[in-house]
Amino acid sequence: MNLIKKYYSPTNSQLGVGGGGKSVSVLSPATVANVVCGFDILGFALSNPNDEVTISISDEVGVQIINQDDFNLPTDPEKNVSGAALLAMLEECPDVKGFTLISKKHIKPGSGIGSSAASAAGPVVAANYLLGNRFSKEDLVRFAMFGEKVASGVKHADNIAPAIYGGVTLIRSIFPLDIIAIDAPELYVTVVHPQIEVRTADARMILKQNVLLKNAIKQWGNIAGLVAGLIKHDYDLIGRSLEDVIIEPVRSILIPGFNEVKSRCKEAGALGGGISGSGPSIFMLSKDEETAKSVEKEMISIYERIGLDYQTHLTTINQEGVRLL
């Protein structure tokens, strides 16, 4: 793809000048990818937290980026997750010169709950709305994957797909894209984010490139069981299938308190859970809010004792994905 080179960072007084001042704002959700055993193929959207994104059509060529947060993300669109996704969209919009993007992130980069996916998904959904919804959801995932490549070096869609489709999604194939929405039961999600950063690219580098056949067979069984459990709304099957024998044993060493969090949260009634994305966030699924609150208390207790700063989110699976404000 021949990315458009021209860019600049406008001031607040320049907002809404191009494209007749038309703009749209969206909330772009955090997501949980992998869902324990479904490395790079399973994910679900969270009701909270969300990034805020505003897009307007611009008379300037390319993508103009304004960041209204303290994360100091690049404003060069080729080096910015949102910018790369919008540049990919512009390649298929010969009638549009460019976009102006205002981004206010609430999902901390490197948190493991799909910060880069929210940055990529929100802008393309908002831009598509301005363009009269000319692109399908699958197209939007395809554009947003260019943003994920900027973030991690890999075009993966396990965060992007649920952010755009909502709910739980299965990525059967990347090339060509084949995304299946899964009719999962209502579940509560408790997330703890230890305040350390695990870069997705770094978390991929430590993974083994070859696995034992016996482990692969066990993993396939868990993935199939988890998908079946979600579709059948079988909570016991979901719980039995939330096991990872390939990725989690390697990545969990990067997260202080991981094993204790997982064991104590299950004792508190959680169905199960594990590393959210590449970490360091840990998620646990529960059947009801009362259990989810008990799980949160266990998470808090552990990190208070360890003495590591943390943030928790008690939320649900977001069935809508990116939504208009």
Of these residues, 200, 248, 291, 315, which one is catalytic? Answer: 200
Cα separation of 122 and 54, whole Å? 9
The verdict on whether 148 is a catalytic residue reads yes
Cα separation of 161 and 167, whole Å? 9
Cα separation of 273 and 285, whole Å? 6
Q: Look at residue 238 and give its three-state secondary structure.
A: helix
Distances (CA, A) of 226 to 131, 217, 244, 258: 38, 14, 11, 21
The verdict on whether 316 is a catalytic residue reads no
Close Cβ partners of 82 (under 8 Å, ≥ 6 residues apart): 53, 63, 65, 101, 103, 119, 120, 122, 123, 147
Close Cβ partners of 176 (under 8 Å, ≥ 6 residues apart): none
Of these residues, 60, 148, 248, 296, which one is catalytic? Answer: 148
Cα separation of 74 and 77, whole Å? 7
Q: Judge if the upstream peptide bond of residue 176 is cis by omega within 30 degrees of 0.
A: yes
- Cβ neighbour number for residue 142 with a 10 Å cutoff: 22
Q: Which amino acid is at 109?
A: P
Phi-psi group of 9: left, alpha or beta (phi > 0 → left; psi -120 to 50 → alpha; rest → beta) = beta
Q: Look at residue 306 and give its three-state secondary structure.
A: helix
Active-site positions?
Answer: 148, 200
